[in-house]
Chain A
Amino acid sequence: MAHSYTPGLTVTDHTVVHRRRMLPLPGKVLVNVGDRVRSDQPVARAELPGKVFPINLANQLSVAPGEIKDYVVKKEGDVVGKDEILAENKPLLKWFKTEIRSPVAGTIESVSPVTGQILLREPPKVLQLLAYTDGAVIETIPQQGVVVETACSFVQGIFGIGGEASGEIIMAVKSPDEPLTPDRFDSTMKGKVVVGGAFLSFETMRQAKSVGVAGVVVGGIHDEDLRALLGYDLGVAITGTEQVGFTLILTEGFGAIPMAAKTFKLLSAQAGQKASISGATQIRAGVIRPEIIIPKGEGDVGMVAQTPREGIRLGDPVRIIRDPLFGRIGEVSALPSELTKISTESEVRVLEVKFSDGKRVVIPRTNIEVIEGA
């Protein structure tokens, strides 16, 4: 039963991460195993099929669908320019002539004698997949992508919005319980990853956007401010494609919650270093948490990827993740095995947490998470 615990967020100074970079559809891999790559370097490329434009020729020519092949002047696979004639009739009097012109430049995908439609497809769009983080290519997957290995400092957030970005880390507050206020931002922060403390208000978010920061990392925000930022109420935690001007990463959760001291200390120690960040969060179907990757130098080798731990043990540092003690950090001081009745009258498995002031509390096991990477 010791296995049944909530895996926590990793916050570690030394680790090796592997990032699988995959194209959304088959394409070409541009690098080889062993290559060193930079975060902004393309590692694979694909062509996204262009938009499709259906044109109902039968209707426009007033003929039966089966007859349209007699009027089409192009065939499937032909390239057409914008306004080029696709089909025309041949009346005895030229005033009655009808010409159907292409609304876009592209190729003829299909001509259907059943529906009387012609499908035009615009030229493909080139999609370049970036390495995302500085590191080395350790695997290539033909037509699909690569795996990039990076020795780094690594911080996992709990929730984020916005896509991948990179920039130099800059500390905007002096302590993890200090809120990030609008006056902390100035023009020197443009393109950088700004680290705050306990809280970020909507006004501060607006300021961050106007300065043009690459990202903001903070302990918590109010849900109301998130709604104001996005313009809608977020229903499920599947994010990463929002375009709000910067990438936002919460390390603790919703509310004004001081950033865990360990996280703050680690980020402070890395100030001035380049970080790759992603706000993408997906809390189901293969969890994705937002992350901050701070690559180490090329010579910094010898570290190994962390393996998932087995269960929870006495002395493990833990964070309480549910009210009434949400956000408090302590260590496991007892692991009773029997079910315990809590104040809701539910009988659950619990553990005892000891805080730094010596106070001990009993918490349902599912309401704590282990601080990984300790």
Chain B
Amino acid sequence: MTASASTPVKINRPLNVIVATDCGSTTTKAILIEKVGDTYRQTYRGEAPTTVEAPFEDVTRGVLNAIAEIEELSGRKILDGDKIITPCRDDKTGVDIYISTSSAGGGLQMMVTGVVQNMTGESAQRAALGAGAIVIDVLAANDGRLPHEKIERIRSMRPDMILMAGGTDGGAVTHVVEMAEYVAAAEPRPRFGMTYKLPLIYAGNKEAQPQVKKILEDKSALVVTENIRPVLERENLAPARNKIHDLFLEHVMQQAPGYKKLIDMAGAPIMPTPAAVGLIMETIAKREHLNLIGVDIGGATTDVFSVFDGVFNRTVSANLGMSYSVSNVLAEAGLANIMRWVPFTIDEQTLRNRIKNKMIRPTTIPQTLDELQIEQAIAREALRLALIHHKSLATGLKGVQQERTISDVFEQQTSGKTLIDMLKLDLIVGSGGILSHAPRRIQSMVMMVDAYEPMGCTRLSVDSIFMMPHLGVLSTINEKAATDVFVRDCMIYLGTCVAPIGQGKDGDLCADYEITWSDGRTMKEQLRFGELRLVPLESGQQATIKVLPIKQVNMGAGAGTAIMKEVHGGVVGLLLDGRGRPLRLPVEQPARVAALTKWFNAVDLYPVLSAER
């Protein structure tokens, strides 16, 4: 399928049986979706190691292996040798369409340029991240690097694609042309393939288009599109994002091992995984009018999505992941930050060796409880760091003059502040192997709560078996199928976290609360500092919680002010978190281990857990 990725695909035949794959950096996941009566349901699932690597070096091998698992489990014949049978021949043979997403082969790595780093540079970065790319560098006229250093950087990085932005329409052209000259001088070469020209998108000042064309046309596969920042006050990211998707399919994926075959097998354009997950996250937020943070923690990257007041943002944190880049989480977070989540003592050398062994053999899984706890500790840090990264990029436009009234005079508001407001957050959605496949759902919930430290009342959910990418790409060809499966089989509501903001001495009163269930039952209790408590509230149920915090503690309405909220249940329930915000763990090792053990036991996080290990 070689249609443009930016134009929706129209399929004229009925789609009753769909097979979808996501080729991740570590594993290829396949799901089967079948129409049962009037409703689409996800019925079977298969998985196999991704095969972009030697000895196979052909991504379709892993796809066929994952689909073969579905064949075995479902009894449906889908493969005819190396071919997928489409459309369905009868009730038990073939599928109506095969679709796929991919982040295998390192995903889409881009370099972006702008004129002013925190204005057009950041807009270009947002456009690339929004298209599902990993941004390996942002170059700008004012980035502090000398011209020859910029040229060296462009030459050495070997991106898959470059996005050039800069200048508002009608503004000065000099700096944009200067950057084009640097790019031309660097003669950038793509990561894959020696004989093709590097795709380069120009989305800057339209007045500079003729000069940019003259300088770069012969040295790159140049595509010119609308300015991503036509005026200072407005971003126009969609045209550049669409071009990125198109060029990703036309140029970049064609170079990766086996992708040409995969593109031909698929009935719709192959989408970068983060772009597909982003589509689903954006759809949930818009449909339910929610402020949302979504995360997809993978083997190589952690992708964070947010929708606040209707504004969608996505960031891809390259090298924060649970397999190939697990060691980088250790390098970035530091050993102490990982160890603070581990409820036992382990010597540094052993832990470091274990993490490195996971890096070099990324498809392995924890076999013992200790190993599971270490991986979940690392995941907390990967999630935390990726959210920090996201907060720094999900901002309002910088450099924009703000209108101020007399009442704003004393408020130190700056332009470009982060849009992520944890107090306004309604829902956290988790996806990715470590969250979707945690043996107990409470583990996913606590990992996200520890990493994100939600404040006030925040609902949490998880992708049941990791199928959001599949549904993202499916939504572009059959929205009903994607929605049906999403609601019934994919989204698992975990429950709601109730977390007062403030700190106090362990055991001191934090808040009084009263829960009223829909059947009229009520419970009046006190939440104390240092306490983690789980109250049953099943999926589909709601309850009303009234929280009266003590005078220095805030539930969102101000210090000491009571709040009353409708809270939603889930497979875990209502998590009352009296550990305080920001979350502070005891510094001393024995006290920390004791605190973790107490919390983990209180919510039945692991099968067996005792302080005396």
Contact = CB atoms under 8 A, between A and B. Distances in A.
Interface stretch (B52-60, B230-238, B243-251): B52-60
Contact of B319 (A6, A235, A254, A283): A235
A163 B173 CA distance: 44
B532 to A, nearest CB: 20
A22 interface: yes
Interface residues of A, number: 66
4 closest A-B pairs by beta carbon, nearest first, are A235-B328, A287-B53, A345-B439, A285-B106
B282 interface: no
A110 B181 contact: yes
Interface in A36-86: 49, 51-54, 65
A135 to B, nearest CB: 19
A222 to B, nearest CB: 6
Contact of B365 (A24, A253, A284, A364): A364
A5 B69 CA distance: 13
Contacts of A344: 366-369, 371-372, 439
Interface in B337-383: 348-350, 352-369, 371-372
Contact of A343 (B54, B174, B364, B368): B368
16 contacts: A1-B69, A52-B151, A112-B178, A116-B174, A121-B185, A159-B360, A222-B349, A283-B360, A284-B106, A284-B362, A286-B57, A287-B54, A323-B354, A324-B368, A344-B372, A346-B366
Nearest to A362: B367
Interface string B24-49: 01000000000000000000000111
B239 interface: no
Given A7-B55, A158-B360, A286-B53, A364 B367 contact: yes
Best-buried of A281, A348, A366 by chain B (most CB within 10 Å): A366
B348 to A, nearest CB: 8
Contacts of A109: 185
Best-buried of A53, A65, A308 by chain B (most CB within 10 Å): A308
B147 interface: yes
Contact of B177 (A114, A121, A283, A308): A114
A321 B189 contact: no
A123 interface: no
Given A51-B152, A109-B185, A285-B105, A235 B327 contact: yes
Interface in A107-140: 109-110, 112, 114-117, 119, 121
B368 A323 contact: yes
Given A223-B353, A235-B325, A286 B364 contact: no
Given A52-B185, A367-B367, A234 B211 contact: no
B68 A237 contact: no
A168 interface: no
A363 interface: yes
A25 B105 contact: no
A106 B26 CA distance: 47
Interface residues of B, number: 74
A284 B359 contact: no
Interface in B139-192: 147-148, 151-152, 173-174, 177-178, 181-182, 184-187, 189, 191
B325 A346 contact: no
Contacts of A112: 177-178, 181
A236 B181 contact: no
Interface in B184-215: 184-187, 189, 191, 194-195, 211, 215
B52 A3 contact: no
Contact of A366 (B147, B332, B364): B364
B353 A367 contact: no
Interface in A318-336: 321-324, 326
Given A144-B194, A326-B357, 10 more contacts: A6-B364, A25-B189, A52-B151, A119-B185, A223-B353, A223-B355, A235-B331, A308-B55, A344-B372, A346-B365
B148 A53 contact: yes
Best-buried of A116, A281, A345 by chain B (most CB within 10 Å): A345
B190 to A, nearest CB: 11
B72 interface: yes
Interface string A269-309: 00000000000010111111100000000000000000010
Nearest to B175: A115
A363 B371 CA distance: 14
Contacts of B47: 4
B75 interface: no
Given A114-B211, A323-B368, A237 B69 contact: no
A253 B362 CA distance: 12
Contacts of B151: 51-52, 54
Contact of A4 (B48, B186, B439): B48
A237 to B, nearest CB: 5
B172 to A, nearest CB: 10
A368 B124 CA distance: 44
B69 to A, nearest CB: 5
A289 B54 CA distance: 9
Nearest to A250: B360
Contacts of B54: 7, 286-289
Contacts of B177: 112, 114-115
Contacts of A363: 367
A291 to B, nearest CB: 11
Contact of A54 (B105, B148, B256, B355): B148
A231 to B, nearest CB: 13
A255 interface: yes
A158 B360 CA distance: 7
A4 B332 CA distance: 32
A366 B349 CA distance: 24
B194 A158 contact: no
B14 interface: no
B305 interface: no
Contacts of A326: 357
Contacts of B53: 284, 286-287
B174 A52 contact: no
Nearest to B329: A235
Contact of B440 (A343, A345, A369): A345
A186 interface: no
B317 to A, nearest CB: 12
A323 B182 CA distance: 50
A255 B328 CA distance: 19
A323 B367 contact: yes
A84 B576 CA distance: 76
B364 A308 contact: no
Interface string A1-45: 101111100000000000000111110000000000000000000
A24 B190 CA distance: 10
Interface string B61-74: 00001001100100
A254 B368 contact: no
B581 interface: no
B324 interface: yes
A366 B177 CA distance: 52
B98 to A, nearest CB: 18
Nearest to B364: A322
B330 interface: yes
A86 B195 CA distance: 35
A224 interface: yes
Nearest to B56: A308
A311 to B, nearest CB: 9
A1 B187 CA distance: 46
A361 B570 CA distance: 38
B367 A286 contact: no
A342 interface: yes
Interface string A136-166: 0000000010000000000000110000000
Contacts of B357: 253-255, 321-323, 326
Contacts of B106: 284-285
Contacts of B348: 224
Contact of A284 (B182, B324, B361, B440): B324
